[in-house]
Structure 1
Amino acid sequence: MSIKLDPRTKIYMILSVSTIVMMSATTPFLWAVRLIITIVPILLLIAEKRYASALRFFALYVTAVFINFRFLSAGSTGFFMAFLTGYCGIIVQFMPAFITAWYVVRTTKIDEFMSAMQKMHIPDGITISLAVIMRFFPTIKEEYGAIRDAMRMRGISLAGGDVIKMVEFRMIPLIFACVNIGDELSAAAITRGLGGKVKRSSVVELKLNIIDILLFVFFTIATTIFVFHKYFRL
């Protein structure tokens, strides 16, 4: 069953998770809090039937945690092991925020996001910038997929050994696509009257439900416990 959350709840989730990931976990209790806040957006992805994304994120996070703790506790040395543990440490540190942001971008419609930002009285400059970013990266992914398929049809791939052509024929069209997408999104924003002096109306009616309230309470408690346990624990 799909869980439809208010965009304001999703924004609060990002802020709470980002606050926690910016602080290092130094005790098993703090690691447990980080693990719980990582599981929540994964479960929400499963509720949205995005099983592949949820499985990839879960597998990557669990693998990074295992490698990080396994080799750090063993005291392994060497350039490769130092690089591996450092890379896994970065994944463990910032993956919760990335998963949450991925969930928000993939499950939030632009009209809902704009309505939520307007209800929170966020300046139009910030709102429009965030809305463009939310549309920009998914569109770039679609464009890159189309370019990749076109190159495969022409026999240009990394497996064929022609690396230079692979980079040239994929990156240059992608760069031009980025420019065109930026222009198109700007034109769409002007057409919809974004940034105008008159207050915009919206057909989307946002309302917090019981799940939104529970998530608000949960992430508030998780953030408060993490901060107080880390900095004010006697």
Structure 2
Amino acid sequence: MREKTGTVGQSVATAAMLTVKLDPRTKMYLLLLANAAVFLSPSLEYELLFMALIFLLYLWMGMYSLLFKILLSYSFVMAVQLLSERFLPGVWQLMFVSFAMFIRKIYPCIALGSLLIGTTKINEFMTALTRIGLSKKIIIPFAVMLRYLPVIGEDWRYIKDAMKLRGITPSMLGFIRRPLMTVECIYVPLMMAASKIADELAVASITRGIENPKQRTCYERVSFQFSDVLAAIVFTSYVAAGVWI
């Protein structure tokens, strides 16, 4: 029994060693590269390979749960586009294909933005931006945004649970069946929650000294490592190849 426990512990430790932690500045740089790749993409194959690089980055950083969600949603968007092109006629085809292509085009930015939010702590993010030399007028809104989005996601889960108790499904089918009630049950609580969360985050930030003019300190280590250099080189080379093509 002890041998099995030791083997499991060694496996977990090995998996932890294989995952890396990128600097917040590297993740922001990759997000900027994704924006460039979206506009300069020469073909669908180029986009698919770029998404494959992003999925490998997720694996490299150990974000398996988020990778599954991103991969599933991206596959759904691709399926909508391909099936619409093949089976839908006329105006319906144009509408669904255009919408799917728009989502597909911006998906690299969505994926890397989710990675930035899901793997970056607020203090790391602010320290990284401070070392770049950005003004606090830019840093503070970005920091509040990073804290704001996860809280809104948590409130959205509570809203969905409350809607299910009233027999309303927060989905496309539920919207078709009861459009006015679905919109009311989604937008009204979200607007009220958003206003309340914004006030709470502002008070919490001021209490923690976010406006302090002195240089910030951070318990976490924020520095460039070999993994940051490798990720930046790989993604930059791929985007440069797209420009050359």
Q: Within 2, Cα distance between the matches of 1:109 and 1:223?
A: 28
97-106 or 204-213, which moves further after superposition?
A: 204-213
- Partner AA of 1:120 in structure 2: I
- Partner AA of 1:206 in structure 2: V
1:110 to 119, 122, 127: 122
- Deviation per residue, 1:41-87 (Å, 9 max, x gap): 32333445544432343244345446646776x79750111112212
Tell me which residue corresponds to 2:4.
Answer: none
SS of the residue aligned with 1:22? helix
Q: Within 2, Cα distance between the matches of 1:45 and 1:65?
A: 20
2:134 is the alignment partner of 1:94: no
Q: CA deviation at 1:201?
A: 2.1
Indicate the RMSD between aligned Cα atoms, in angstroms.
Answer: 2.7
2:174 is the alignment partner of 1:157: no
Q: Within 2, Cα distance between the matches of 1:169 and 1:78?
A: 34
- Partner AA of 1:15 in structure 2: L
Q: CA deviation at 1:129?
A: 0.8
- Deviation per residue, 1:96-134 (Å, 9 max, x gap): 111111111111111111111111111111111111111
- Verify the 8 A CA contact 2:41 2:47 in the aligned structure 1: no
Tell me which residue corresponds to 2:139.
Answer: 127
Which runs of no fewer than 5 residues in structure 1 stay unpaired?
A: 230-234
TM-score (ref. length: structure 2): 0.79
- Aligned pairs, how many? 223
Tell me which residue corresponds to 1:148.
Answer: 160
Tell me which residue corresponds to 2:68.
Answer: 55
Which runs of no fewer than 5 residues in structure 2 stay unpaired?
A: 1-14
2:40 is the alignment partner of 1:11: no
- Partner AA of 1:157 in structure 2: I
Q: CA deviation at 1:7?
A: 0.7
Tell me which residue corresponds to 1:232.
Answer: none
- Verify the 8 A CA contact 1:43 1:54 in the aligned structure 2: no
Change (3 A) 1:132 1:14: same
Percent identity over the alignment is 27
1:36 to 49, 63, 77: 49
- Partner AA of 2:48 in structure 1: L
TM-score (ref. length: structure 1): 0.82
Change (3 A) 1:90 1:164: closer
177-186 or 85-94, which moves further after superposition?
A: 85-94
